[in-house]
Amino acid sequence: MTATTDASPAAGEPINTVLDAARRATERGIEHLLARQDSQGWWKGDLETNVTMDAEDLMLRQFLGIRDQRTTEAAALHVRGEQLPDGTWATFYGGPGELSATIEAYVALRLAGDAPDEPHMARASAWVRANGGMAAARVFTRIWLSLFGWWKWDDLPELPPELIFLPKWFPLNIYDFGCWARQTIVPLTIVSAKRPVRPAPFALDELHTDPRDPNPARPLASAATWDGVFQRLDKGLHLYRKVAPRTLRRAAMNAAARWIVERQENDGCWGGIQPPAVYSLIALHLLGYDLEHPVLRAGLESLDRFAVWREDGARMIEACQSPVWDTCLALIALVDAGLSPDHPALVKAADWMLGEEVVRPGDWAVRRPGLAPGGWAFEFHNDNYPDIDDTAEVVLALRRVKHPEPKRVSRSVDRAVRWSVGMQSKNGAWGAFDADNTSTLPNRLPFCDFGEVIDPPSSDVTAHVVEMLAGEGKSHHSSTRRGIAWLLAEQEPSGAWFGRWGVNYIYGTGSVVPALTAAGLPTSHPAIRRAVAWLESVQNDDGGWGEDLRSYLDKGRIGQGDSTASQTAWALLALLAAGERESKSAERGIAWLAENQREDGSWDEPYFTGTGFPWDFSINYHLYRQVFPLTALGRYVHGAVTHQEATLEPAGLADSTAQGEGS
């Protein structure tokens, strides 16, 4: 398709080399993105995480007895290719070796036939032993090891299936967990109760620091601490296991199974993400579902769709797929870059997104039972878990398209706006999937050491909703005003905002500043000026911006890292929204994007700039490197998006000095 933009210099306009370079880069970026659109209208980039996805897929197939040579060899090829020189595997590009990932990758290669005395395997096992061995791995890794007899079930935290019976008002009921954790924990209660062992074809003594004492006792924390309280609770649950009434336990497992089956999506997956699907398949199989049962057959087929086959024969497993998210971001990028709003590619994308609208209640209705459904999920099929972030961005995207059926668009948007407003948490902000999912008790459970397990409101999601509401003419709506007040209170003393779903403070700041100015805050507002000053202070010498994932752990790394296309674009989106188009910082950032664009209109970005769980689970969205730079270039060339002219200076929205460090 041919792009139609007004990117050429106007007659009599003075020559500006940065502007001219931006125009050329914008044209190339439009052509590249249009060429990547699927014939059905959607976009989807690869969603790259880490090799535990590949290892667990192989271990699942080994456990179920369906592992085949072709899949095994292809997975092993990918896993070997990700190994670092010191023998380890990291969880993000440029990151340090991680113990659990290294253990799981090692097991996968053993399943593929790699001998423990081969140099790459010997390096891995030596590093594992030097870093605490199998005993120091996270709980989820040790669960996988227990399935094959490499670890003792008695030495794992207990997770009783009776958890399914806890009422919704009771602490630690399943709806106190974030949806991703909830979908994982429910099937694992069945696995924990059954404690299956299907002996592996080899031992793993080389991964113990001392094979004579493979399961060393862990120290007991003080009873005066939450960790100590929950450790003692776990000991009590281990005792309860021995006396649990069989009738009650059987009923609990059956109730959990019904809960799982009811939440299977039309494509066979659970929640559109790989981990719950893997554990759900194991749990149901343990309860007697054979591999030809329609539920299991559909589930296994859905997992095959998470596989990305490379040209070299390697096979990478995506943790999930992001077509709705990628499509709405691509549409925003193309329109902001100057593509005509009635371009056929945009209308086709809008039609596809309209067909993906979620119109039935899901788990979110537990906390909002009277709220009518509306909105969008992240994946192809995930009607149980639409998310507020996608919904906000889809609305922003749809409103940019000149659709031949405007009433159809407006009906979907109206439903989405009502649902989004209804999902606002009590504090005035928004989480991703649930309202008021803020209990910190789940994080204390010994079982929950795999990352974030709750879904509290975040600055980035709240900002996207505020921007969406502003675009709908609701800047003065009470929900918008409460969201703005919350965002102002969440600003860091540095001037930045924490990024929950992207890395990290650059993402948070790049999300919040455009939202605040769209909602009417003047660019002279102290919060906006502090944000601009912070962005200018962390700009790299090459003109770009970057932030390492370790900024989630190390405050000294905040805003620090090699320049990347997506993070440079996020910083620019904030600067442009703040009225800094003519600033030296903005020009240098735009120049960096133009200079680092490839000839085909794309950008390269090996770094992980997406966040699943801060620090614990990181994502490289392969389309981020295309959509965000194109959006920033487009807004530089054509002007930043403005939703309204009104400004907000009423009581309650004046400058608020941030307190504390982080959300």
Interval 597-636: pLDDT, tens? 999 999 999 999 999 999 999 999 999 999 999 999 999 9
Q: In sequence order, what are the beta bridge partners of 264?
A: 270
* Average pLDDT for the chain: 92
Residue 660, pLDDT > 50, answer: no
Please state, for a pLDDT cut of 90, what percent of the chain lies above it: 86
CA distance 91 to 28: 32
Three-state SS at 470: helix
What pLDDT does residue 280 have? 97
Residue 459, pLDDT > 90, answer: yes
Compute the average pLDDT of residues 258-274. 94
What pLDDT does residue 642 have? 55
What is the CATH code for 48-204+221-317?
A: 1.50.10.20
Query: How many whole angstroms from its chain centre is CA 635?
Result: 26
Listed residue (107, 49, 41) closest to 308, CA to CA: 49
Other C-beta atoms closer than 10 Å to the C-beta of 107 total 24
Sequence-separated (6 or more) residues with CB below 8 Å from residue 36: 43, 623, 626
Listed residue (73, 121, 111, 61) closest to 312, CA to CA: 73
Compute the average pLDDT of residues 316-343. 97
What pLDDT does residue 447 have? 77
Compute the average pLDDT of residues 117-146. 96
Please state, for a pLDDT cut of 70, what percent of the chain lies above it: 94
216-238: b or e for each residue (b if 16 or more CB lie within 10 Å)?
eeeeeeeeeeeeeebbebbeebe
What pLDDT does residue 644 have? 42
Q: Which CATH number fits domain 19-45+322-438+452-638: 1.50.10.20, 1.10.540.10, 3.30.365.10, 3.90.70.10?
A: 1.50.10.20
Question: Which residues belong to CATH 1.50.10.20 in the chain?
Answer: 19-45+322-438+452-638, 48-204+221-317
Compute the average pLDDT of residues 52-80. 97
pLDDT band at 211 (very low <50, low <70, confident <90, very high): confident
CA distance 659 to 425: 20
Sequence-separated (6 or more) residues with CB below 8 Å from residue 556: none
CA distance 603 to 598: 6
* Distance, first Cα to last Cα, the chain: 44
Sequence-separated (6 or more) residues with CB below 8 Å from residue 592: 542, 543, 544, 563, 568
Q: How many residues does the chain have?
A: 663
Q: What is the pTM of this model?
A: 0.92
What is the set of active-site residues? 389
Is the Cβ–Cβ distance between 193 and 161 less than 8 Å? Answer: yes
pLDDT band at 559 (very low <50, low <70, confident <90, very high): very high
